[in-house]
Amino acid sequence: MIDLVKFSTEPATGGGSGTASAVGYSPPVEGKILSVNVAYHENMPASADVALYEEEDPTQEMIIQRLNNNINFRCYPRRPVQTNSNTDITYDGTRKVYDVYVVHGRLKGTLTQANDGSIAIFTVWVER
Residue 42 region, left (φ>0) first, then alpha (ψ -120 to 50), else beta? left
What's the whole-number average pLDDT of the chain?
93
Residue 112: predicted pLDDT: 94
Give residue 46's pLDDT.
Answer: 72
pLDDT digits (tens, 9 = 90+) for 27-83: 999 999 999 999 998 777 678 999 999 999 998 899 999 999 889 999 999 999 999
Q: Considering Cα of 121, then 66, then 61, then 84, what sign does the dihedral take?
A: positive
pLDDT-based confidence at 15, cuts 50/70/90? confident
Q: Which CATH number is 43's domain given?
A: 2.60.120.380
Number of domains in the chain: 1
Range of the domain at 57: 2-127
H helices of 38-109, where?
none
| Cα distances (Å, whole numbers) of residue 30 to 8, 26, 61, 102 | 18, 11, 16, 8
